[in-house]
Each structure stands twice: as C-alpha cells, then as structure tokens.
Chains A and B, each alone.
Chain A
Amino acid sequence: MAKAQKGQVRVITGNAAAAYGAMLCRPDVATSYPITPMSEVAEQLSAFRADGLVDTEMVEVEGENSAMNVVTAASMAGGRVFTATSSWGLVFMYDAVQQASGFRAPVVMAIANRETPGILAVSGGQQDIISMRDTGWIQIIVEDCQEILDSVIMAFRLAEDFDIQLPVMVNYDGFYLSYLATAVEIPEREDADQFLAPLKQQPERPRLVPGEPLSCGTHGIEIGFMELRYKHCAALERATAKLDEIDKEFGEIFGRSYGGQIEEYRTEDAEIVLVTSGSATGTARTVVDAKRAEGIKVGLVKLRLFRPFPRKRLAEALKGKKAIGVIDRSVGFGWNCGPMYMEIRALTPEIGIIPMLSYIDGLANLDITIPHIERVIDEVSAAAQGKPYQEVTWIPMEE
C-alpha cells in the first residue's frame, strides 16, 4: 500500500480523537447515550453528521443498553457500526455487550474508562475494563489521543476481518485522555479508505436480509453450543497475531505503530520490567529513562491488548527478567491484587519463578505520579536483588 500523505494536525481532545477515528471509517449506523466523560464523542459525531462529513444513521437512543442493541442489530444486517460509552453506561449494556460478542458482531466501541462498582465516582479508573473481561470482546487499551484515533481505525480492520468477526473495545483513560487536548494528526479520508479497503476484498459474512429464510440467533443445543464457544475462543486467539499485523501495516502506511499486542520499551537488556497500561505509561517511560540514567537496568511493557490476553508476547518479553512490577488502575476483587498483575502471574510457568509485585494506584482520578513509579522501580529492583518484598501495595494508602 502507498504511504499516506501528511494529515492535518489539530489540537483535539481524546473524545474528539475517537469521534474522528470513527468518522474516517464511515460507519453506517452510530449511536451513543451521553455519559461523563465520553459525551463529547456523541456530540462530535452528530456534528460531523450535521456538517455532512458522514452519512451515518445516527440514533439518539434512550439508554446505553439500547445503544448496544441498535449497533449489534445493524451490524448483523451487514452494516459498519460504532458506539461509545463509559463506566455505568457500559455496565447498563452488559447483557447486550455479551449478545454482541456471542453474535460475533463486529461492533467497535470507544470507552472512556471510569470507575464503576458500588461507590459513585465521576472520575477515571480502569475498573470498567475489568468488569468486561469475560464478555468475549477484544479489549484494546491505548495511551494517548493520537493512539485513540489510530486505534479506532485499526479496530475496524480487526473487528471486521473475516477470520475474526468479533467486537472490539478501544479503551482510553477517562478524564486523563477524554478531556486532554493534544496535537493529533488526522489522516486524510482517502488514506483511511485505502487502509480499510482490504475488508471489501474478503468473503462476505452472513447477514440478515429481509425475506430471506435466515435467522440470526439459534438455540445452541448439545454440542452446537460448545462448537460456537470453541469457534469464538479460536477467533480470539487469532486476533492476537492479527492485531500485530494490522498495527505493522498501519505503521507502514501512516508512520505510526504501537507494537500491536504490547509495546516494549528498553526491555531488551533490562533486568527488571515494569508493566503498565493506558495513560500512565507516558509517566512510566519518563521514569524509566531517569532510572536508566542512574544505571538501573529497567524496561517497560505497555499492555495494549487485554483480551485476548497477549500470553505469548508477554512471556517472551518477561522471560529471563529478575523481577517485575505491575501497576494496575483497578482492583481484582477477591484476589486483593491488581487484575493485570493477577493475569501476568498466571504466566509463571513461561517466565519462571521470579519476584512479581502488584501495585494498585490511580483509582478515581488519583494521579500515578513520578515519585510513585520511582518507588515501584526501587522496590522491584530491591526484590530482584533478593531482598524481601511486599507482594501487593496500594500506593496512595501507604503515603
């Protein structure tokens, strides 16, 4: 594919970046129910529609549950669809979220992550990602506004790939990224079209056509149910390598790539590795550089794909390291540790028995600060040298 021309650079928020990404993919049907901090996505998309930039059918639904049902059905009829939500909105569509993945509907949904259970918090956190972990969706977590826009475009390529046919969530930190305005390069329409063009060359997926005796939905009875589950899981497994491929191709065309499933930073000769996700990664990168200057051999892994879990690539990145620290912006109820930490610990057979430290930080808009990350690196470093360590630390609670 030809290299893309330089796109226009505009200072836009993360929400606007999500909306631009969606607009460039020309969805047939889009819908969204406003919720802080993603309401701007819905407004932006409506503005694009009003300005004639897209001919998307916009549905102003009466709740998130309906939003997910609208896009799932439109997707099963053959359309390209987009929606966005956050926090309780995501929880309110929980049944429909699972229907979308069970139907293998290639829905793309942007999520400005926000705290969820129990305690009302109009503030950022990744707990809503965690509550969706077993829904059978593909979950991508991004770091900055440019990555939001690029990832929404890549998400359509992944979701609608004939070998995948799965819905994709593009997660970005609410408040931190949703309202943060930064310079974002907006690809030209024809370049985005060119990037998505391969989707038109693949076999057509089944779709609901009025008058045709094909029904969407069936009672999966006996082994039929198990077969569908097996196919779903197999498609999720295929999505890992597919994301790497798509990311690489995006990089070749647009000059920006994000590592696919994970992004490694200075890990090659690292003795200890820090694992982060989302917007905190930027801070972590700065601290890693500073610690490197001090002579500490520390590397960083940004977890981009949460479901399917990038087991293979993570194991490769973490194998042979002396200790690792994982920073979670959410909790794993009933395990009293970070959920991403918990999943990485499950890779012990692949990476070996080494000190693994869990850090819970940044809940409900608390900042994951430079001193916090310095502390993490110091403790992981000490653990690597055989010093005693605490497995789980709720950083702000110990200050």
Chain B
Amino acid sequence: MVIKHKFILKTENAWSDANEGLLCMDTGSWRTARPVLDKEKCNYCGLCALYCPPQCMKDMGDYYEVDLAYCKGCGVCAKECPRDVISMVPEGEFTDG
C-alpha cells in the first residue's frame, strides 16, 4: 500500500494547536441589522462592550465602535445601552454589507 496522503497533524493524536493562528468564522455575514452608535451621546460607560456576547465592541478611548467583521447583530448592545444611543439599523440600508 502506498500512502500518498501527507499528514496534516504533527502529532500522533488529536491535539489542537493555537500557536499558528486561530480558526475564525465570518459571523459578520449572519447579521440582518447592525448597531449604529451615536458617539456624541455615548458616555463611554462600556455596558454595551461588557454585555456584547461576541465581545466585538472596540474601545475607542471615549466611545465604542462595533467590529462589523464579527457582530452577529443580536442587538443586546442596543437593548442594554442605558442612554439609548445605539440603534439597530437593517443591513439593507447599507451598501457596504
């Protein structure tokens, strides 16, 4: 028997190694609505970033910005914002998505 397959695992057994970068999904494409933050009204309390399940609110120093590559569009940030400065806008209204 000739084995043509080139082994893809370095070890004998099932070890997952994160030293060479992470696997990642395009979860941004799941989104049907995106959070839009009014940074003028944002008081940087960080609750949106704290509660964001995929933790994709980027800390911009005095406000937050959503990372659209990963935001799944769940809307938790908008719901939890105590100042209502985040609104969920349907993706259809954007041309970059």
Interface residues of A (CB under 8 A from B): 102-104, 165, 205-206, 213-218, 220, 223-224, 227-228, 230-232, 235
Nearest CB of chain A from residue B24's CB, rounded to whole Å: 15
Q: Contacts of A218 on B, CB cut-off 8 Å?
A: 14-16
Whether A227 contacts B5 in the complex (CB less than 8 A), given A213-B18, A215-B18, comes out as yes
Chain B, 1-46, CB within 8 A of any chain A CB: 3, 5, 7-9, 11-19
Q: Contacts of A231 on B, CB cut-off 8 Å?
A: 7, 9, 12-13
- What is the bound-complex CA distance between A232 and B9, given in angstroms? 13
User: Known contacts A205-B12, A206-B11, A230-B5; can you find 13 more A-B pairs with CB under 8 A?
Assistant: A102-B13, A103-B14, A104-B13, A214-B17, A216-B16, A217-B14, A217-B16, A218-B15, A218-B16, A228-B13, A228-B14, A231-B12, A231-B13
Residue of B9, B17, B18, B19 touching A228 (CB-CB under 8 A): B9
Name A228's closest neighbour in chain B (CB-CB).
B14
Nearest CB of chain A from residue B19's CB, rounded to whole Å: 6
Asked whether A227 lies within 8 Å of B7 as measured between CB atoms, the reply is yes
Query: Taking chain B's interface residues, is the majority helix, strand, or loop, or is none over half, making it mixed?
Result: loop
Asked whether B9 lies within 8 Å of A216 as measured between CB atoms, the reply is no
- 8 shortest interchain CB distances as A-B pairs: A213-B18, A104-B13, A215-B16, A218-B14, A218-B16, A206-B15, A104-B12, A206-B11
Residue of B5, B13, B18 touching A103 (CB-CB under 8 A): B13
- What is the bound-complex CA distance between A217 and B16, given in angstroms? 7
Q: Contacts of A230 on B, CB cut-off 8 Å?
A: 3, 5
Asked whether B14 lies within 8 Å of A220 as measured between CB atoms, the reply is yes
Asked whether B17 lies within 8 Å of A213 as measured between CB atoms, the reply is yes
Q: Contacts of A103 on B, CB cut-off 8 Å?
A: 13-14
- What is the bound-complex CA distance between A356 and B81, given in angstroms? 80
Name B15's closest neighbour in chain A (CB-CB).
A206
- What is the bound-complex CA distance between A323 and B16, given in angstroms? 51
Asked whether A216 lies within 8 Å of B12 as measured between CB atoms, the reply is no
Asked whether B19 lies within 8 Å of A213 as measured between CB atoms, the reply is yes
- What is the bound-complex CA distance between A232 and B11, given in angstroms? 11
Interface centre among B12, B13, B15, B17 (most CB of A within 10 A): B13
Q: Contacts of B12 on A, CB cut-off 8 Å?
A: 104, 165, 205, 231-232, 235
Nearest CB of chain A from residue B18's CB, rounded to whole Å: 4
Asked whether A165 lies within 8 Å of B13 as measured between CB atoms, the reply is yes
Name B6's closest neighbour in chain A (CB-CB).
A227
Interface centre among B9, B12, B17 (most CB of A within 10 A): B12
Q: Contacts of B9 on A, CB cut-off 8 Å?
A: 224, 227-228, 231
Nearest CB of chain A from residue B58's CB, rounded to whole Å: 23
